[in-house]
């Protein structure tokens, strides 16, 4: 796995301060609700909605600012192919950034909001009546 560092973490920013690397550990709060309904002894239907709130804004690697081309070049020194791929992943416009929000660059995300995700799960279940004794008897 390649760490693309699309926000320049681990490199020096425009003020010559090293940007802190992301932590691989995050705390999240799961909230879910749902119901299950049995149509008969063998068939059940269920529906679930889940929502996760995290205490970080870096799950999607989009929070504050695009990495500058200088930061990307530092991280992938000597590998022009990875440098170009990382520049595109960081800023698909190809315009690049000087590290500050301006007329031709914008924020990558909203640093005031933490990351969340939600899901909806629908399930159809059929109960198989398993009887090993009958199965063994079939093959005798």
Gyration radius of the chain's alpha carbons:
25
Residue 64, domain member (yes or no)? yes
The total domain count for the chain is: 1
Please compute, for residue 132, the number of CA atoms within 13 A of its CA located in the half-sphere on the CB side: 0
CA angle 11, 84, 15 (to 5 degrees): 25
Which residue range(s) make up the domain with 133?
28-138
The Cα 53–Cα 28 span in angstroms is 5
**pTM of the complete model:** 0.59
Q: What value does the mean pLDDT of the chain take?
A: 80
In this predicted model, what pLDDT tens digit does every residue of 45-94 receive, in sequence order?
999 999 999 998 877 777 777 777 888 888 888 889 988 888 887 777 77
Residue 67, domain member (yes or no)? yes
Residue 1, domain member (yes or no)? no
Q: For residue 35, give every residue at least 6 positions away whose Cβ sits within 8 Å of its Cβ, in sequence order, or none.
A: 46, 47
Query: What six digits make up the tokens of 49?
Result: 């909605």
């Amino acid at each position: 796995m390649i760490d693309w560092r699309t926000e320049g973490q681990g490199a020096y920013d425009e003020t010559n301060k090293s940007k802190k690397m992301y932590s691989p550990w995050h705390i999240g709060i799961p909230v879910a609700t749902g119901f299950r309904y049995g149509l008969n002894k063998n068939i059940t239907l269920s529906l679930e909605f889940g929502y996760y709130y995290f205490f970080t804004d870096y799950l999607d690697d989009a929070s504050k600012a695009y990495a500058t081309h200088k930061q990307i070049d530092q991280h992938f020194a000597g590998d022009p192919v990875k440098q170009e791929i990382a520049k595109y992943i960081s800023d698909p416009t190809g315009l690049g950034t000087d590290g500050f929000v301006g007329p031709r660059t914008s924020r990558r995300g909203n640093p005031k909001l933490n990351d969340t995700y939600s899901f909806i799960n629908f399930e159809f279940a059929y109960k198989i009546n398993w009887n090993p004794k009958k199965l063994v008897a079939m093959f005798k």
